[in-house]
Structure 1
Amino acid sequence: MNIRQDAWSDKDDRFLANTILKHIQEGSTQLKAFDEVGDALDRTSAACGFRWNAIVRLDYEQEVKQAKRIRKQRMKETANHVASKLSHSKHRSSSNIHSIIAGLHQMQAELENNIHSTSPNIENDVLHLQTKNNEMREEIARIKQEYHTIKQDYDIIVTMMNRARELAMTEETIPSPNFFRMDINGNLEKIASNA
């Protein structure tokens, strides 16, 4: 049995899964994980994304859920830490209002960064999948058209062969020779014999 040189090994699949899970836990995106795996395995990030979504992800559903829980917990801990700092600052002195405001701005910036880092990538993924879907629809339409053309040609050939068979059988039963010619459409026409 021949094995393709570019086939994915179990080791490659595990590396892909572990890298994606790490990125999910850290609040990064799957696209960045695909880039990282693609660089490491000398593959395109699209090939890594296809492998993950079509095959590998099915075996890691629980791990993905756990990674998302860890990410959510880390974000919650960060928010609690900032809130705790703000609370301590507030109790120390009312003059620390500026540090409280700065902390809130920092927390807002972190949240916006997380939202912006995932949102465009999801939109990119959707656009990429829509493009692939349209390409596949066009390919299916092209193949259907080719099939229709080939079927028509096949039907014409079968019809011509049946006509030729009928004419040959008729020729055997009639003692006088028959002469035929083919018209421009490929149909056989009987020519009157000069007897």
Structure 2
Amino acid sequence: MKVRQDAWSHEDDLMLAETVLRHVREGSTQLKAFDEVGDRLSRTSAAVGFRWNAIVRDRYEQALKLAKKQRKEMKRAERRQPEYTKNDMHTPLQQEQPIAKPVLKTPINTTEPTQTKKELTMRDVITFLSNLEQSASSTNKLRTNLEKLESENQLLREENTLLNQRIKTLENEQQVMKEDYQSLIQIMDRARRMVVLNDNEDQNVPTFKMDKNGNLEKVAR
């Protein structure tokens, strides 16, 4: 039983994608591709299939569609060739006369555009995979920048929280000072009124002096 516990590398994922795309393009099944990759990486087919369906498949969805399209084109080309052969063999004259032999080249020539198209689409697949790898690198850089921005944003939020707490503290201190000031004003006002009241009381007390005969008389203020 083939079992490995180590993580998948980028090269393993790339090899898995290339193998699956090749099997699909050639008319094979994904299960056979999983078996091949499992033999090469010493992994189980189930583990390989899970990796493909859960992680790798989404990255190569367009390439998979292209491989399926190529498989259909190859099948159509294979279906066309027996028709030409059957028509050529149906006429006895064409089998007996050497002149009819060049007609057999017709199905071969008709498959050439398909073969050429296959080579071009293979290049397209390679280009697509290269662009996808570059896109993954750009995505990693973007993720790093986003993480840096989130870290800076978190620091700013914490600093803002500290500033808000400081503002509330200063507002509380200002309110206490305001209340103390009002209390002081009230105390000073009461003290001033008490001084005025004492002066009035002193003015209402009569003053006396003794005359020559020894009598007290009130002195007018």
**Common fold: TM-score over 0.5:** no
More helix by share: 2
User: Which structure would you say has the larger Rg?
Assistant: 2
* TM-score, normalization by structure 1: 0.45
* TM-score, normalization by structure 2: 0.40
